[in-house]
Amino acid sequence: MSDIGVSLFLASRSIRRGNRGTFVLTVMIIALVFVNLVFLPSIISGVVEIFNRQSIDYTYGNLVIEPKENDLYIDDVAALKRKIDRIPGVAGSSPHIQIGATFTYRGKAIPGTVVAFTPQYEKEVTALHTAVTSGDFLSDGDRDQIVLGVLLAGEEDESKDRIESLGGVKVGDSVLVTFTNGETRDMRVKGIIETMAVQADRQAYVTTGEMEDVLGISDQANQILVRTVEEGNEEEMKVALMSFGVQETIKTYEEKAQGFVTDAIQSFDIINAISTLVSLVIAVVVVFIVIFISTVGKRKQIGILKAIGIDERIIINSYVIQVAVIASLGTAVGLVFTALLTLYLTANPLIFPGGAVSPVLEAGQISRSIAGLFAVSLVSGYIPAWKTAQEPILDAVRG
């Protein structure tokens, strides 16, 4: 039998005939540490995913084309849109005109943003039209009609509002809109949309025709949202657009959403790093104590093995193998726990400001957690075994 075979033999007997309770307890602790290592990152991934989803679906599409530096508007928008739509990989595009405005309702004035688009085009890119909770979405020829985000419309009971609102605007009500260029319009509320994306829910929406009338411009836009056929290849599509002659600034939804999301993710990452560290320290301490107690209890036995003529390395390895078995079972049980928790939270998602968040398990995170747990377990199993095996034989055998 090879040396490692002897180590395996000793380890298997020790596990089979050693203390069940300690074994199960250690496995459970490793399992819980594993859950802890995987769970928080999976929630963060869930938040990031929902954020990206909403950025794409309600705010930016996949790509946003903006005026060249020093320009206020993109000119010849109709032609540019036609050009973009012909590029392979583009599913659709929607020119936007955005401008600041003050909304007045029942004597209450709230500053905000009005976004203008052609509804028919908008449906190619965003899912705003699917988020109407009352009334209707805009139609192409609409004039003096406005769609409000639910946070802007607000609740009659202001205590239910999460941010300052108009205090419960209903479909059919009139809202006075004062644009930043001084123009004023009395507009009928056609619909209310609720997307759960904070930015989309705080804006108001009108048709391009309406906005051109207000601003006295035509065939201009200050954003063109682009929907790509595939997701995840935004960077390549950006290059594709440039190579097809789009000279304006192109940003991916991630670049647009930066600031806010990156800050949030950075904070999450710090929390996560602390939690990971604490989990691993717990794993180290527990495995160390368990193996330490186990090897100290087996001091005499280790002395006997050495006296018989068994190499220290074989003895130490038998403990390392035991720890590896514990770590394997622990991570396996931990995976089961994580799967159950994920199933539960997918059925009952956590509600975040951005929407309902389900944990997203990432293979990378899971393998990193497994690797981390194994590494700390093996080290914290090795050290006490090594230390005990260093003792002079006679001291150990005397007990």
Partner 1 sequence: MIVARDLARTYMLGAVPVRALRGVSFTIEGGEFVGIMGASGSGKSTLLHAMGLLDVPTAGTIEIDGTDVLALSGREKTRFRLNRLGYVFQDYALIPELTVEENVVLPCLVRGVPREECLGLSREVLRDVGLEGRMDHRPAELSGGEQQRVAIARALVNRPAILFADEPCANLDSATSTTILDLFARLNEEFGQTIVMVTHEDWHIRYFCRVIYLRDGLVEREEPCRTKKRRRASPDRETAVDDDRLPGDV
Q: Which residues of this chain interact with partner 1, rule CB under 8 A? A: 1-3, 5-6, 9, 13-14, 17-18, 300-301, 304-312, 314, 392-394, 397
Q: Which two tokens stand for residue 166?
A: 């108009």
Shortest distance, position 29 Cβ to partner 1, whole Å: 23
Residue 2 or 243: the one with the smaller Cβ distance to partner 1 is 2
Q: How far is CA 240 from CA 17, 67, 122, 226, 349, in A?
A: 66, 18, 22, 12, 38
Task: Pick the closer one to partner 1 by CB: 3 or 186.
Answer: 3
Nearest approach in angstroms of CB 316 to partner 1 is: 13
Nearer CB in complex with partner 1: 191/384: 384
User: Closest separation between CB of residue 315 and partner 1, Å?
Assistant: 10
Nearer to partner 1, 182 or 309 (CB): 309
In 340-389, at which residue ranges do the beta strands (DSSP E only) sit? 350-352, 355-357
Identify the DSSP state of 245.
T
Region class of 143: left (phi > 0), else alpha (psi between -120 and 50), else beta = beta
For partner 1, the closer of residues 96 and 306 by Cβ is: 306
**Most distant CA pair in the chain, distance:** 99
Give the contacts of 305 (CB within 8 A, at least 6 positions apart). 10, 314, 315
Q: Which of 281, 280, 224 is nearest to 76 (CA)?
A: 224
- Min dist CB 311 to partner 1, Å, is 6
65 versus 305: smaller Cβ distance to partner 1: 305
Residue 26 CB neighbours (<10 A): 25
**CB of residue 381 to partner 1, shortest distance in Å:** 17
Residue 396 CB, nearest approach to partner 1 (Å): 10
